[in-house]
Amino acid sequence: MSVTAAIYGLMGESLTPEEKAFFRDADPWGFIVFARNIDRPKQIIRLMGELRDCVGRDAPIFIDQEGGRVQRLKAPLWRAAPPAARFGELWDREPELALEAVRQNHRLLAQELRDLGIDCDCAPVVDLAIPGADAVIGDRAFHAEPGPVAEMARAALAGLKDQGVAGVIKHIPGHGRADADSHYALPVVREDHETLHETDFAAFKGVAEAASMAMTAHVTYTAIDPENCATLSKDVIAQIIRGEMGFDGLLMSDDLSMKALSGTLRQRGERALKAGCDMLLHCNGERAEMVEVAHAAITLSGKALERARAAEEARGTAQGLDVAATHDAMARCFAEAGLEAPAP
């Protein structure tokens, strides 16, 4: 069966017979896992194998492992990685040390993921830290300025790829100044285009050529398209993401089940693809919703298929990593700048 333009989540720590049958029939391009799917390393490795067995190929498997508040693999079994904002503090003292620390941190993140059979990380966040905005981004952002954010995001992508993991920049074209959390409501950004061009959009433009994948923002930008959020907007995708930013990688929607969107899951999926998204993301594992998304998810072809293949190649090959030495290298960057080093 042809591969479809979808990434699905699942309900628990193992696949049910119904999930196996659905994934076999729907043949999604990839999968995404969350804390609810995670127990111990052996269980995860087994589950990743089961997912790939359902579709009979080395399907990409995603996770949100940013560090800080957003990491599905948690201590004590896995490292408590620092939030992005810690590297921004380091940047303000020693930019070159910050870039090295970011790279080493993401090499460590990737090594943990690859050991479990996970090969795509929904990171780094390229949103800006904007005072007064909704706290959903906050310390998940590297910095308030687009230049530092773009440079640290490129270092993060390089660190992930060094250990065989492809990164996904998010939330394009920018969620940092949103006035709401798109999990629960539709955020609206009212700044003029010139301001966005110089700030939020500039950060993504600065990393666009280095990224093989990006995840959209369920955010409405009134200066570009006052009627539709970015995920569902032809104007935002064509004019800003593909045009102004020059991003030509795989563009996936943020989670279609989030409350920022309205309509049925099928309608949301159809609108996202019509607007220019290459891939539909559905995360909560609810089978009835996934069936709706499957009715919208078209067979990958043309430019979307080319981008998907390039994204698969971007996973690269894991290199050997001395975990202790790599963490020490990151810690030295903070120490040299007079900052407290992240815990091992």
Structural domains for the chain: 4-47+59-337 (3.20.20.300)
What pLDDT sits at residue 72? 97
Write down the pLDDT at residue 4: 98
The residue written with tokens 């408590």 in the block is 80
Helix pair angle (95-116, 146-162), 10° resolution: 40
Q: List the chain residues with pLDDT less than 50.
A: 1
Instruction: Tell me, yes or no, if 254 is annotated catalytic.
Output: yes
Query: Is this model's pTM higher than 0.95 or not?
Result: yes
Residue 256's pLDDT is 97
- The catalytic position among 139, 254, 255, 278 is 254
Among 25, 58, 92, 183, the active-site one is: 183
pLDDT of residue 318: 84
Among this protein's residues, is 175 annotated catalytic?
A: no
Question: Rounded mean pLDDT of the chain?
Answer: 97
Q: What is the pLDDT of residue 317?
A: 87
Find the DSSP H helices in the chain: 17-26, 41-55, 84-93, 95-116, 146-162, 193-198, 200-205, 234-235, 265-275, 287-296, 302-313, 323-336
Helix-helix angle 41-55:95-116, to 10 degrees = 70
Please report the pLDDT score of residue 343 as a whole number. 84
Going by C-beta distance under 8 Å and a sequence separation of 6 or more, which residues neighbour residue 162?
Answer: 103, 107, 110, 316, 319
